[in-house]
Structure 1
Amino acid sequence: MTVQDNGPDPNAFHIEKATRENDTYRTVAWTGKYLQVTLMSIPVGESIGLEAHPDTDQFLRLDAGSGRCVMGAAEDELTFEQEVSDGWSIQVPAGTWHDVINTGDEPLRLYAIYAPVHHAPGLVQQTDEDAERDEELGVDEPPAWTVQPEESQPDQHAG
């Protein structure tokens, strides 16, 4: 199934089918003025990557695979831990350190909703290395027509 970001125009697609068929680390599926939908696939033994989005709330829903979600106030203070699998949702408040680790034997397939918009519209990143590179190069930025916090802070990454 091919999903094309036509935001901020109206859109509808079978999100579970698109999520289960997605084999990229991240594909931006739709970009609105206030929120964004991305599809993700995390290989066995890998993770989203421990990070915090200071100004962005995030909702994640798993549609295939199993893993472990960790969250907390600091990268070395991950006090929340939950085993997750198909059908589970994860709510990440802005500023919370979080990671989702694939502990299963198949790719972990999920979608994420960001509010406000967090990525460049229509961006496809095959791997997490591509995502890191795009962020460093400034390629992965929300479009000017989205509503962003007045004083935005950069994402934080562990390490």
Structure 2
Amino acid sequence: MNSWNREDACGSAQTDYGADPIAANVIQAARENRNFRTAFWTGRRLQMTLMEIPVHGDIGVEMHPETDQVIRVEEGRALVCMGCAANELEFRCCLCAGEAVFIPGGIWHNVLNAGSCPLKLSSCYAPPQHPHGTIHRTKADGAHEGH
């Protein structure tokens, strides 16, 4: 079993710490993350990823049929759009650091960077959405995963 020492998870955001128990400074790890998506912790039934969305960028319209998701803004401003169809994202709200959106499985959604600096996010999926150790340096890298 890995250490429960939170200092282990405060440095590089390049390692997937799952599925052993760990305490971590998620805000600091998200701020240090320079990848579009980094799997930070992957368990059997839950996963946390960290994301960096560039200015004028977005995560892309997506839907996870069987996966609930929580997305929290760690730094920056986000515009969240959700709906029952990919072309009908009628729910819209802006989020600032410390705020989160809860997305049930089967709901189409997109998160756009609405600020003037990179948007830093943490995202929890239940069950996990990406393979253990996933690192997508760019949005295009993530598109090849086939989710």
**Partners of 1:119 and 1:67 in 2: how far apart?**
22
**What does residue range 53-68 of structure 1 map to in structure 2 within 5 Å?**
53-68=64-79
What secondary structure is seen at the aligned counterpart in 1 of 2:124? strand
Deviations 1:36-67 (A, max 9, x none): 00000000001010110011000010011112
Kindly indicate whether residue 135 of structure 2 is the aligned counterpart of residue 120 of structure 1: no
What secondary structure is seen at the aligned counterpart in 1 of 2:27? helix
Shift of the alpha carbon at 1:87?
1.1
**Partners of 1:36 and 1:59 in 2: how far apart?**
10
State the TM-score, normalized to the length of structure 1: 0.82
Residue 61 (structure 2) aligned to one of 35, 44, 50: 50
Aligned residues: 136
Residue 2 (structure 1) aligned to one of 5, 12, 17: 12
Provide the residue aligned with 1:141 in structure 2: none
**Partners of 2:26 and 2:87 in 1: how far apart?**
34
- Residue type at the aligned position of 1:58: Q
Unaligned runs of 5+ in 2: 1-10
Unaligned runs of 5+ in 1: 137-154
- Residue type at the aligned position of 1:61: R
RMSD: 1.1
Shift of the alpha carbon at 1:99?
0.4
**Partners of 2:32 and 2:20 in 1: how far apart?**
23
Identity of aligned residues (%): 42
Runs of 4+ in 1 over 3 A off after TM superposition: none
**Partners of 1:40 and 1:129 in 2: how far apart?**
14
